[in-house]
Amino acid sequence: MTTLRQLGERETIRRLAALLPTRPDVRMHIGDDVAVVSAGEYDFLLTSDAVIEGTHFLADAVPEQIGHKAIGRALSDLAATGGEPLWALIDVVAPPELEAERLERIYQGLAKLSSTYSLAVVGGDLAQGPVLELHVFAVGRVPAGQAVLRSGAKAGDAIYVTGQLGGSIQGKHLTFEPRVKEGQWLRQNQWATAMIDLSDGLATDLNHILEMSCVGAELAMETIPISDAAKISPSQQTPLEHALYDGEDFELLFTVADERRLAFEEAWAQANFLPCTRIGHITQEPRGILLIDAEGRRTPLARDGFEHFTS
């Protein structure tokens, strides 16, 4: 028998997806940040995420931050397609010994972030289990045909990332701000040709865009925006390795057509968003990612980000 550890997360998803039915109104099935379903003048965006004690947070984590992370992960998926958040369902699995006040504080945290982005939490389920788990199913929408997917990158497109990368385990993974407004702006102004949120690490998530778009990429090593947390991490990894491979930064990684690059950068600056950095460009050949150092040497970039069952 083959185990999930042997298959890894991506191959497991591929095998399971092949077993599932679909419908003509499904524009995007399994394989992007969200599923996209056609419904008249709008396309609805469907996503689900889980946060599990021991995997996504520790038992002594601040309750409000657990709730923030649970709802923030779903909002980040909607942001990656430029979506408007609408509704969410939350399933809670909890041990009987969990203090009711702790669960209430978790809900205060998720309610606060939901309210910020007009996401209505309209129901869910409560069940008993050995450890605390929160499972969020969220729905958003975009005008029909306007969802920004992973599959639109073209050779020559510039590659951008918001914020700074790496070291999220120091705290950001519980307090990050989903880039909902930025994602909507990128879609509304038709800047982004492809987009993804960084949940598994820059190297892994950029490869998702490359595979869906059938292209490659070159990244300039000196331009990768490295967070202070990555620079002071006590681990054996270098700050650059943290920026490339750490998961749960939840920044937006996106591509912009080269002929619109300068206009985009000017418009972004005028929009008063957080900093955004151009880190490379898309290449024609689908050969993965090449990292270019200051001397112009090109090195293939390993795909070593987070993957369930193998990490």
pLDDT digits (tens, 9 = 90+) for 203-231: 999 999 999 999 999 999 999 999 999 99
In the block, tokens 């920026």 appear at 243
Fold of 4-143: 60s Ribosomal Protein L30; Chain: A; (3.30.1330)
pLDDT digits (tens, 9 = 90+) for 110-134: 999 999 999 999 999 999 999 999 9
Task: Please tell me the predicted confidence (pLDDT) of residue 30.
Answer: 84
Superfamily for the 158-300 domain? PurM-like C-terminal domain (3.90.650.10)
Task: Please tell me the predicted confidence (pLDDT) of residue 305.
Answer: 59
Task: Please tell me the predicted confidence (pLDDT) of residue 236.
Answer: 87
pLDDT averaged over the chain?
A: 95
Task: Please tell me the predicted confidence (pLDDT) of residue 233.
Answer: 86
Domains 4-143 and 158-300 share a fold: no
**Cα dihedral: 244, 157, 11, 300 (round 10):** -50
Pairing of strands 35-39, 26-28: antiparallel
Domain boundaries, the chain: 4-143, 158-300
Percent of the chain with pLDDT over 70: 98
Task: Please tell me the predicted confidence (pLDDT) of residue 13.
Answer: 85
* Residue 15 phi, psi (nearest 5): -65, -45
Distances, alpha carbon 244 to alpha carbons 91, 98, 238, 240, in Å: 32, 37, 10, 6
DSSP assignment string, the chain: ---HHHHHHHHHHHHHHTT----TTEEE-BTBSSEEEEETTEEEEEEEEEEEBTTTB-TTS-HHHHHHHHHHHHHHHHHTTTPEEEEEEEEEEE-TTS-HHHHHHHHHHHHHHHHHTT-EEEEEEEEE-SS-EEEEEEEEEEETT----TT---TT-EEEEES-BS-GGGTHHHH----HHHHHHHHHTT-EEEEEE-SS-HHHHHHHHHHHHT-EEEEEGGG--B-HHHHT--SSS-HHHHHHH------EEEEE-GGGHHHHHHHHHHTT-S-EEEEEEEESS---EEEE-TT--EEEPP--S--TTT-
Phi-psi bin for 137: left (phi > 0), alpha (psi -120 to 50), beta?
A: beta
pLDDT digits (tens, 9 = 90+) for 76-94: 999 999 999 999 999 999 9
pLDDT digits (tens, 9 = 90+) for 157-177: 999 999 999 999 999 999 999
Rounded distance between C-alpha atoms, residue 219 and residue 23, angstroms: 38
Mean predicted confidence (pLDDT) in 62-66: 99
* pLDDT band for position 36 (cuts 50, 70, 90): very high
CA atoms within 13 A on the CB side of 117: 32
- Cβ contact 181:276 at 8 Å: no
- Our measurement of the distance from residue 124's CA atom to the centroid of its chain's CA atoms, rounded to an integer in Å, reads 23
- SS3 per-residue string spanning 219-265: EEHHHCCECHHHHCCCCCCCHHHHHHHCCCCCCEEEEECHHHHHHHH
* pLDDT band for position 307 (cuts 50, 70, 90): low
Task: Please tell me the predicted confidence (pLDDT) of residue 65.
Answer: 99
Rounded distance between C-alpha atoms, residue 208 and residue 203, angstroms: 9
